[in-house]
Amino acid sequence: MEKSSTPNRQLSMCDMISDDLSGMNNQDVPKSCVTHDICADKPKLANNFCTFLQWQKHNEELLSRSVQGHHQSNVVEYNVQRAINTLSGSADKSMSDSTNKIAGMTRNIDRWKAHMFQVIENMRNEIDLLILSKTKIQKAQTALRIICSISTECLERRSFRLETDLTLDPGQVELVKEKELITEIGNLFCRTLSQIKDQLNRNKNVKVRLEKNWSDKYQSFQIDTINLGLNIQTPIIMSHADVIKDSENTCLSVPEWESITKSLYEEAEQVLNESRQLRSIVDDVLKKSANRLRDQADTVDIALARFISDTQQIGQAIENDLKQVVQRLGDSENLIGDLIRVIMNLEKAKQTAETRLHNRLKRPGDENVKDNAQLSLISEVKNLSDQLNTLNYQLYCARTGHGGLQEARSLLEDDSRIKRKTLWIDSIRCQRIRAHYPSVNILLGR
């Protein structure tokens, strides 16, 4: 700043006015006072005027403050620019770091989401397969009830056999074993079906939890996907006052989150393995049960067929024997008739000889002699008596044999009736009803 060359010189108002007026162009200004001489008297200093030194000092202070302000403004501007650059870079780095971490967490969520989705699909398929196994068991139970009805019908019908044929033959023994086997397998089916229902409930509960977890991860993935697209130019960003406090109070740590997810995943895999093992057990139970029932049914059928064959052979032998007995009865009756006729003739002959002897005993005096005729009549009576005794004994024996034949005929007829009843029960009732025995495929629940 340039300083005045005559600092002690004071300019008068006239000089200042003259200088000012002299600088005017094309203006009509009088060069002398109009009414009075303003410079006639010496000017007086007012009390409120500052000194020139004060004025200079004031200007210097003002200019020094301006320079200081410029310097301070430059410093502030430098610091602000530096702070802007530093903080902007830090904010950009922080945002980039947060974006990378969100992206990493998003990838982690997406990875677990894919695992959960696969497990859910496996669980759905497993539930469908387990329901199919349940249906197989139920169908096998229906077939087992049919078998139970067949076996019970056979046992009840065979209880109507008569007398000696109501025996514990091999067919009856195998039917009793079949009934016991049916009861055993029925209890096994009930236990297996109960296990399937419990496993289905576990599968469905785990499936619900998996779906809830997958849904939560899907929402988190969508949220973080939106977060990845946010920046300072996004129009939907806004301030949230309590977000830090809420985040600190409600959020889990990543290890805890991953531990919970992994625990659920491992639990689901374990439940899947248990369900698969149960399905394998169900298939094994159905297969073994079907084979045991079918083998026992074949054993029963073979035993019944053999017993029927034996009964038929015995029945045929009885029929043949009965025919012979009937034939012998006829012959015996003819023989007895002949014996009776002979005995009657001999009786008449004896009576004739006895009458002759009786009449000859009436001869008088010495005429009553033991002549040859008398001796012949006596011998004839004795011979006829002996012959009659022999024939009567033979008649007794013939009648006794005839009675035995009649008794044998009655027994044979009764036994033949019993055998026909047994054959009707075993062949007509039991074998026909056992022809409806379920096949192996039906016993397997197919």
| Choice among 93-97, 248-252, 260-264 with the minimum mean pLDDT | 248-252
Q: Reply yes or no on whether the pLDDT at 240 is more than 80.
A: no
Planar angle of CA 109, 113, 116, nearest 5 degrees: 140
- Predicted pLDDT at 190: 95
Cβ neighbors of 403 (< 8 A, separation 6 or more) are none
**282 near 195, Cβ under 8 Å?**
no
- Predicted pLDDT at 255: 87
Report the run of H or E that residue 70 belongs to, with start and end. helix 52-158
Higher-pLDDT residue of 48 and 195 is 195
User: 30-37: long-range contacts (C-beta < 8 A, 24 or more apart)?
Assistant: none
Report residue 4's pLDDT band, with 50, 70 and 90 as the boundaries. very low
Could you tell me the two tokens for 102? 């969100």
- Cα–Cα distance list, 138 to 143, 196, 290 (Å): 9, 11, 14
Distance of CA 354 to the CA centre of its chain: 108
Report residue 198's pLDDT band, with 50, 70 and 90 as the boundaries. very high
Could you tell me the two tokens for 60? 């210097």
Dihedral, 301, 305, 308, 314 alpha carbons, nearest 10 = -140
- Predicted pLDDT at 5: 39
SS3 state of residue 443: helix
Could you tell me the two tokens for 427? 């062949």
Cβ neighbors of 41 (< 8 A, separation 6 or more) are none
Task: State the number of CA atoms in the 13 A half-sphere of 101 facing the CB.
Answer: 7
Report the run of H or E that residue 388 belongs to, with start and end. helix 372-423
- Predicted pLDDT at 228: 86
Could you tell me the two tokens for 376? 């012949």
d(CA 296, CA 303): 10
Each residue's pLDDT tens digit, 44-93: 555 566 787 887 787 777 777 767 767 777 888 788 877 777 777 777 78
Dihedral, 391, 394, 396, 401 alpha carbons, nearest 10 = -160
| Choice among 9-13, 28-32, 120-124, 135-139 with the minimum mean pLDDT | 9-13
Cβ neighbors of 303 (< 8 A, separation 6 or more) are 169, 170, 171, 173, 174
Phi and psi at residue 10, in whole multiples of 5°? -105, 130
Query: Closest Cα to residue 58, out of 9, 108, 118, 1?
Result: 1
- Predicted pLDDT at 284: 93
- Predicted pLDDT at 212: 94
The mean pLDDT of the chain is 83
d(CA 47, CA 49): 6
Q: Reply yes or no on whether the pLDDT at 16 is more than 50.
A: no
Task: State the number of CA atoms in the 13 A half-sphere of 51 facing the CB.
Answer: 5
Q: Reply yes or no on whether the pLDDT at 148 is more than 90.
A: yes
Q: CB count, 10 Å around CB of 10?
A: 10
- Predicted pLDDT at 55: 78
d(CA 430, CA 158): 8
Cβ neighbors of 401 (< 8 A, separation 6 or more) are 332
Radius of gyration of the chain (CA): 70
Q: Reply yes or no on whether the pLDDT at 31 is more than 60.
A: no
Q: Reply yes or no on whether the pLDDT at 36 is more than 70.
A: no
Cβ neighbors of 275 (< 8 A, separation 6 or more) are 126, 130, 199, 202, 203
Each residue's pLDDT tens digit, 275-326: 999 999 999 999 999 999 999 999 999 999 999 999 899 989 989 998 998 9
Q: CB count, 10 Å around CB of 265?
A: 17
- Predicted pLDDT at 21: 37
**444 near 290, Cβ under 8 Å?**
yes
Q: CB count, 10 Å around CB of 143?
A: 21
Could you tell me the two tokens for 185? 């397998």
Could you tell me the two tokens for 12? 């008068």
- Give the pLDDT mean for 95-106: 87
Q: How many residues does the chain have?
A: 446
**338 near 391, Cβ under 8 Å?**
no
The verdict on pTM exceeding 0.95 is no
- Predicted pLDDT at 250: 66
